[in-house]
Structure 1
Amino acid sequence: MAERVDLPSPAATLPDRIADELTAFLTQRAGLLAGISPDLGLLAQAARTAVLTGGKRLRPTFAYWGWRSVQPEAAAGEAQLIRAAAGLELLHACALVHDDVMDSSDIRRGQPAAHVRFDRFHREQGWPGSGQAFGAATAILLGDLLLSWSEELFTSAIGCLPPERARATIAEFDVMRTELVAGQFLDMLAQARGAFDPDEALRVVEFKTSKYTVQRPLLLGAIAAGGSPEVLEILSAYGLRIGEAFQLRDDLLGVFGDPTETGKPAGDDLREGKRTLLVALAHQAGNPSQRALLQAGIGDPALTADGVARLHEVLQETGAHERVELRIVERATEAARCLSTGLLQPAAAQALLELAQAAAHRTF
C-alpha cells in the first residue's frame, strides 16, 4: 500500500478552513431556502450532504498552493482566496451530482447518490408517479443550485481583491467551467461511439481532469496572487502532467481498487462503459479473443463478478495495466521537474511535489 503523505503546515488546517467556509455558506443559504418554503429543507439537506460528506478537496487545495506559489503564508488576501477556493468545491459537487445521473451511478463516496436518495424519499412518501423520474429531476435541480452557489461564493470572495487581479481570476474561472462541460461532453461522446481510442481517452483526461482538477485551480490561485507569466507557465505545465497522473490512477482504482477504500463497487467503471486509456490500450494490444471480451463486457450493466475478473485478466495480460502504471510514474516525474526552477515560493514547491507523489501513488 502506498504511504500516506502528510503535507506541511498550514496545509494540515486547510481542509478545516475550507469546510468552515462551506458550512457557513450552506447554513446561510439553507435559511434563505427555508424562508421560501419549508419544503426546500429537503434540497438544503441534500446540498449539505453532496458538499460536506467526504471528498479530497483537491481543487481548493491546488488553488491555495497556486496562491502560495506567489505569496507567503498569511499574506493580505489569503482569507478571500480560501473563501473563493471553497466555491470550487460547490462546482465540483454540482459536477458529481450531474455525473451520477448521466452515468446512472447509485453510489457516491460510499453513500447513495443524490438521485437515489430523492427516489427513495419519493417512494417513502407514497406519492404517485415515478420515484426514479423524481429522483433524476430533483438531482438535476440540486446540481443547478450548487452551480449557481459556486459562482456566488467565488465571485463575492475574489471581488475583494484588487480589481485587475479579481477580473483576471474570474475570467479564469469562466474558462474552467466551460472546460468542465466540454470534458464531460467528450467523455459521453467517447462512450456513445463505443470506440477504443487511446488518443480520444487522453483528450477526455486533459479536459475532464487535468485542466479542471489541477491546472485551472492552480492558475486561479496564482493569478489572484498576482503571479508572473513565468510562474503561470510553470504551474500550467505541472498541472497538466499531474492531472493526467491523477486521472490515470483513478482509472486503475475504478477497475482494480479496493471498494472499501474507493467507495465504489468493484468493476463499476467497466459496467458504465468508460472508455479509459486502460481499456483502449488493452483493446489495441489484445488478440481477437481478448478484444471480443472487452467489446462484450465494457458497458454491460449486468456484468457479473466473474465477468469483471475475466476483464481484469485481459487488462493485465495485454500489458495495459503495466503501461498505464508506467505512464503515471512518467507524468509524476515530469511534474516534479517543473517545480525545480526556483521561481515558486519554497513551501509551495515542496507541497506541490508531495501532492504529485500522493496523486500518483494513492490507493483511494
Structure 2
Amino acid sequence: MNYLSTADVVQRIKACLAADGFDVSTLFARAGLAHLESGSARASDLLALSDQFSLLWEALAIVTGDPLLGFRVCATDPLSWLGVLGHLMLASPTLKGAAGNLMRYMPLVTPIVHATIEPVQGRTRLGLHLVGGARLVPPQRYDFTWNLLLATVRFVAGRPDLRPVAVDYAFPPPPSTAPYAERFGCPVRFGAPANALEFDDADIAAPIPTANPLAAEGLFRLLDERLAQAERSSVAGRVRDLLPGMIERGGALREAVARRLLISERTLQRRLADEGTDFSALVDEVRRDIARQYLGSEGISLKSLSYKLGFSDHSAFHRACLRWFGKAPGEFQQSGKLSVTTGAVAPSSSSRRPG
C-alpha cells in the first residue's frame, strides 16, 4: 500500500501555488521548508508525518501573510490525488455512493485522515478529522482539505456550482468569517464539535453521468484487496522502525507506539500476536541490536548506553548482555568487538518492562 508521502504532497502543493502565481522556490526557502521535499518522516511514524503537513501550512501562512492560503491552493485535477479511488468515484451510481466510497477507502490514500459519512435530517454529513501529533492542526490545513474535497465532489458530479448547505469548523471564529461564507456559499459554523460538510440529500442523491456498474465492480475488488493487504501488513516491522527513537524514553512505551501507529494498545497486541510475536520481544530485539552497534565503541559509556536502551539500572543491562551475547558489557570495552553467541529471548523480569 502506497500512501501519499510528504514529498508527494509538497510537490502537488507547490504546483498549485505556482499555478496561482507564487514564486514557490523563494516561498519555500523563506519558510524553511526545503527539508519536507525529502519526505524525512518515516512512514511508520504517522504522527510525525501529520506534524510535517501541519508545519507546511503554518509556515506558508506566516511567510505569505495570508491566513486564507488554504483556500487559494486549488487542484486543477482533484481526482489525481486519489488514484484508483478517483476512478471508482466516477464509476459510482450516485454522488452519495461516490462519497461513501471515498470515506470507505480513505485509509488507502492517507492514514492520518479519519473520514465519516452519516445522514442528518434530510442531509448527508461528510466528516473529516485530521489527526495531529505534537502540533495542533492549523486552520489552513482544514481549509485546503475542504477545498480539495469540495472540488472532488463537484468534479465527480459534473456540477461546478454544487454547494454544501452547511460547513462546520471545530475552530474558534476568525476575525472575519465573510471569506468562508463567500467560499462555500452557505452558512459556516465555527466552534462546532467536529469538522464537516453537509449536503442536501436531493443534491447528493443525483446520478453521476459517468456511472459504470461493471467498472465499479472490478474497482471494488481491487480496492478491497488493497485494504486486506493493508490489514495484513507487518505491524511488527513498523514497531521495529519506531522503537530505536523512542526506547530510551521509557515510560508507557507500548501506549506511545500504539498512538503513533494510530491504533489502540489492544489492537497492537492482537496484530503482533497474529504475526507470532509480542511487544516485549520486539523491544528486546531492538535493544539487542542497539547494544550490538555500540558495545566496544569508545564513543559511549556503559552507563550512557544502559540509559539509551531504557534499562532501569546497570545490573539489568549487565544481565541482558549475558543473555544476548554470552559476555558482560565490560568485556567488550576490553576486546573492542562483539561476538554474538546467542539469539534474543524474552526479556528478564528484572529489566524495565515496556508499556
Which TM-score applies when normalising by structure 2?
A: 0.30
Which has the larger share of strand? 2
Which has the larger share of helix? 1
Which TM-score applies when normalising by structure 1?
A: 0.29
* Bigger CA radius of gyration: 2
